[in-house]
Amino acid sequence: MDKLPAHSVRHPVLLLALLLVIDSFIIHIYWRDLNDDLSDHVLPWYRFILEHGWLSAWGMRFSNYTPPYLYLLSVGTLADRLLDPASIIRGISVSFNALGALGVLWFARAYGWSRENAFYIAVAFFALPEIVVNGLIWGQSDIIYTLLVAAFVCLVIARKGTIAMAAIGLAFAFKLQAVFIGPFLLYLYVVRALSLRQFLIAPLIYLVTMAPAAAAGRGWVDLLSVYARQITEYRQLSLNAPNPYVIVQYMLPISFDDVVVRVGLVIAAVVALVLVVAFVARGREPARETLLFMATLNLAVVPYVLPEMHERYFFPASVMAFLLAVARPRTWPVVVLIQAADLLAYTRFLLNFRLLWVAIGVTLMTCAIAALIWLFLRVPVESQSSSALETGR
């Protein structure tokens, strides 16, 4: 059994105070009573559920999201007389931020941090600027599927493959972007860390989560085609994502978009296979930190090379990078780079800032990915039969 290193946070109170100052500044800059996503999409969904009732609403197509989030929104209507709708929607996201902080607390303890330091780390996660902007300000639900993807990775490290596949199936039921972890999943299948039987759990979980809506009268064909409709809804090279396509789309005429998308998809497929080959080269039973590196690198690279990405699609990479920094503290600059890149990308939609800020975010994201690749290549190849999560430390 491996002995876990003793960690300590230097000047934790000062660190948290700095985060609170940054958060206060960010809330002041980013805060608007409503943004377009809230006013044009989520708030009308909320009012539709309130007007028609849970079951009647679940049986109809009134949203471009899958039912699991609409179930949560339905529960939120119970607080309608206590809070305004926008606060309820934001509150759903913030509650999962808090749940994520509890998960980080457990994760930090599993990786050898003291109770006191693990508490500071959990609070720091809750106060991360992107976490605050995405949930509290924007009212987005990215934290939900991201926590499930992170749980999947942790369960894989703990060698609990069946539960891990249930987690990734539930993540996919909430958001299509859970597929970004695909190269890591393929690697796990190639090295036989997960069996085909376990893989079948994921689509089963997806079907189970659709069942209440189907029982309420919504057709299965409609339920199973939600993501197909989402894919065709936005046809831009980049929707302010901090990747090269956001620059390319302003350099080339719009008539080139279809060609660039096709080329981009080919590049993304090649890069995904390169990731799988690189992961396999690390061995069948890599160390737990290597698995964290793989998952973080995967979640950062895939939305970087894919066209038609939104600015929020690097959110899972941001969370996974934080977990990696908990396990390997020297990687904290990667967390800072991804946080900064994402926040700069958010300025385009939330604040209508110039493209220059997103372009700076592209540069920072490129640096973050380069750092991850460099660090990943420096990780020892030798395997490690036991894991921190498995030993329960």
Within a 13 Å sphere around the CA of 19, how many CA atoms are in the beta-carbon half? 21
Q: Is residue 1 part of a domain?
A: no
Give the model's pLDDT for residue 29: 83
- pLDDT tens, 120-170? 999 999 999 999 999 999 999 999 999 999 999 999 999 999 999 999 999
The yes-or-no verdict on residue 383 having pLDDT over 70 is no
- Residue 3: pLDDT band (50, 70, 90) is very low
Which among 100, 24, 345, 58 is positioned nearest to 216, based on CA atoms? Answer: 58
> 72 lies in which domain range?
12-391
Residue identified by tokens 């509290």 is 136
Within a 13 Å sphere around the CA of 15, how many CA atoms are in the beta-carbon half? 16
Q: Is residue 162 part of a domain?
A: yes
All residues at 6 or more sequence positions from 98 whose CB lies less than 8 Å from its CB, including other chains: 126
Angle between helix 332-351 and helix 12-30 axes, rounded to 10 deg: 20
- Residue 381: pLDDT band (50, 70, 90) is low
CA distance 15 to 271: 37
Q: Is residue 181 part of a domain?
A: yes
The yes-or-no verdict on residue 385 having pLDDT over 50 is no
Give, in order, the Cα–Cα distances in Å from 170 to each of 60, 149, 281: 21, 9, 30
All residues at 6 or more sequence positions from 327 whose CB lies less than 8 Å from its CB, including other chains: 111, 288, 289, 292, 388
Number of domains within the chain: 1
Residue 170 structure tokens: 């539930």
Q: Is residue 284 part of a domain?
A: yes
CA distance 85 to 73: 10
CA distance 229 to 339: 30
Given a contact cutoff of 8 angstroms between Cβ atoms, the answer to whether 226 and 233 are in contact is no
Give the model's pLDDT for residue 8: 62
Of 17-21, 266-270, 303-307, the least confident: 17-21
Give the model's pLDDT for residue 384: 46
CA distance 337 to 238: 20
Give the model's pLDDT for residue 210: 98
Give the model's pLDDT for residue 13: 78
Q: Round the average pLDDT of the chain to a whole number and report it.
A: 91
Which among 46, 48, 54, 49 is positioned nearest to 215, based on CA atoms? Answer: 54
- pLDDT tens, 273-288? 999 999 999 888 888 8
The yes-or-no verdict on residue 79 having pLDDT over 60 is yes
The yes-or-no verdict on residue 323 having pLDDT over 70 is yes
Give the model's pLDDT for residue 38: 93
- pLDDT tens, 170-217? 999 999 999 999 999 999 999 999 999 999 999 999 999 999 999 999
Q: Is residue 318 part of a domain?
A: yes
Element (H, E) at 309: strand 309-310
The yes-or-no verdict on residue 48 having pLDDT over 80 is yes
- Residue 371: pLDDT band (50, 70, 90) is very high
- Residue 333: pLDDT band (50, 70, 90) is very high
Element (H, E) at 239: strand 238-239
Q: Is residue 191 part of a domain?
A: yes
The yes-or-no verdict on residue 10 having pLDDT over 80 is no
Q: Is residue 2 part of a domain?
A: no
Give the model's pLDDT for residue 393: 36
Q: Is residue 312 part of a domain?
A: yes
All residues at 6 or more sequence positions from 321 whose CB lies less than 8 Å from its CB, including other chains: 296, 300, 331, 334, 335, 338, 368, 372
